[in-house]
Homo-oligomer: A and B are copies of this chain.
Amino acid sequence: MSTVQRQSALPVRMERFAPKDEVSKNAQLLLRAGFIAKEMAGVYTFLPLGWRVMNNIMGIIREEMESLGAQEIFLTALQDPSIWETTNRWSDDVVDVWFKTQLKSGAPLGLGFTHEEPVTRLFTRMVSSHKDLPFSVFQIQTKFRNETRAKSGIMRCREFLMKDLYSFSRTSEEHEEFYNRAQNAYERIFARVGIGDSTYLTFASGGTFSKYSHEFQTLCDAGEDVIYVDEKRKIAINEEVMSDDVLNDLGIRREDLVQHTAAEVGNIFSLKTKFSDAFQLLYRDEEGEQRPVVMGSYGIGPGRVMGVAAELFGTESAMVWPVSIAPYAVHVLSLGRNDDALACAKACADRGVDVLLDDRNRRAGEQFAEADMIGCPIRVILSEKTARDGVVEVTDRVSDTTQRIPVAEAPARIAEMVQENTQALCR
């Protein structure tokens, strides 16, 4: 069901100036335009426009997770220390981002910064036979990380939503097969949210369990990582593992690489049997032999994707969202023609397009400046002049082209433009 949202009814106020205490472009833009509000350093509320962007991103992620056959679950934020002691990850000396709290009894609890431990323990109760495998589960849940310095706007937060997927396989081969499908799903997600062209599959440290893990890194000045990109092969190496040995191993030539600053928007990990060994997540194979389950872990932060999009497609005062995640695909601006504008907006909504309608009758300059910040990719203007000419003015802000389209034809043409722009993301 598509919506027409009257801007006059939206409890959002644009700010004339960026907040002084924010250094990152994404935070400046998103705060000024009323997408988010800062509660404290690294802790942001999502306002109506920002929450719509998040929902669009989470919707695309959810579709791709379901197409992998993953089941959605919802784990808990409150964490029992005993689970984390099993893997020696409870101590603040080992994990330095815990937020901890306690029950009235004084018993300590943690706030989940990730969920490998609880998800592994959970499935020890469900898995015993090879017939129970393979499967995968995912959740979109709030993580808490007690970062010493929270910066980069919504790209490194103390509290943030994260999609995490966990896979459970019988053998390394079965795991590899799923891992590759997950990798493809991630590539589709980044393409569909509009950052695919700037996002590279990146070889990174595999930690204690694998030679490499794979990160998805998006070229972006506000990123915290340095990567070396092989543009021809569309892969990259994270600086942290860059060495002659690794280049050799991957068959990459140093002269093909270009150094970039990038932000990690996703990562996928082969966990092997590290967690299943620790929690005794075992199954009996067809010969009755007990074996540990082979696991994988796959994360994406939807808030970071939103921040990266703001970095890529925005300035401090203007934004053009990819149509797939825009708060509204179409922004109809009424310059003194509210009835016509409402009719046009409704006709677009009837064709499945979400429309924001600026019915506030402010100064035109103010309406344009605010529309620039909100960043809907297609802008439609109805003014006294367009009414006299029997047209509406439609701007595709991605290609920055404007057409004057007869009133009666406009809604169908606008719906087509939305569809074309959506498809263009997945080419």
A residues near B, CB below 8 A? 8-13, 34, 37, 39-40, 43-48, 51-52, 54-55, 69, 71-80, 99-104, 109, 111, 118, 122-123, 125-127, 131-132, 135, 137, 142, 144, 146, 148, 158-159, 168
Contacts and interface: CB of A to CB of B under 8 A. Distances in A.
A40 to B, nearest CB: 5
A78 to B, nearest CB: 5
B103 A101 contact: no
* Leading 5 A-B pairs by shortest Cβ distance: A48-B71, A46-B74, A11-B135, A13-B126, A101-B101
Contact of A78 (B39, B80, B131, B137): B39
A71 B54 CA distance: 14
Contact of A125 (B37, B48, B79, B168): B37
A350 to B, nearest CB: 18
Nearest to A160: B76
Contacts of A109: 99
A37 B121 CA distance: 11
19 contacts: A8-B131, A11-B123, A11-B137, A39-B118, A45-B73, A45-B74, A45-B75, A45-B76, A48-B71, A48-B72, A52-B72, A54-B74, A76-B159, A77-B144, A99-B101, A99-B109, A100-B101, A103-B158, A111-B111
A43 to B, nearest CB: 5
Contacts of A72: 48, 51-52, 55
A23 to B, nearest CB: 19
For A13, A74, A99, A144, which residue has the most chain B Cβ atoms within 10 angstroms? Answer: A74
Give how many copies assemble into the complex: 2
Given A45-B73, A101-B100, A122-B45, A80 B40 contact: yes
Given A11-B132, A77-B77, A101-B111, 14 more contacts: A10-B135, A11-B168, A34-B126, A39-B76, A39-B79, A40-B80, A43-B78, A44-B76, A45-B118, A77-B142, A78-B159, A99-B102, A104-B146, A104-B148
Nearest to A133: B11
Given A51-B73, A100-B101, A125 B13 contact: yes
A127 B13 CA distance: 8
Contacts of A55: 72
A137 B48 contact: yes
Contacts of A46: 73-74
Contacts of A100: 101
Nearest to A42: B78
A97 to B, nearest CB: 9
B11 A71 contact: yes
Contacts of A11: 71, 123, 126-127, 132, 135, 137, 168
Contacts of A126: 11-13, 34
A413 B177 CA distance: 40
A73 B101 contact: no
Contacts of A37: 122, 125
Contacts of A111: 101, 111
A246 to B, nearest CB: 34
Contacts of A12: 126
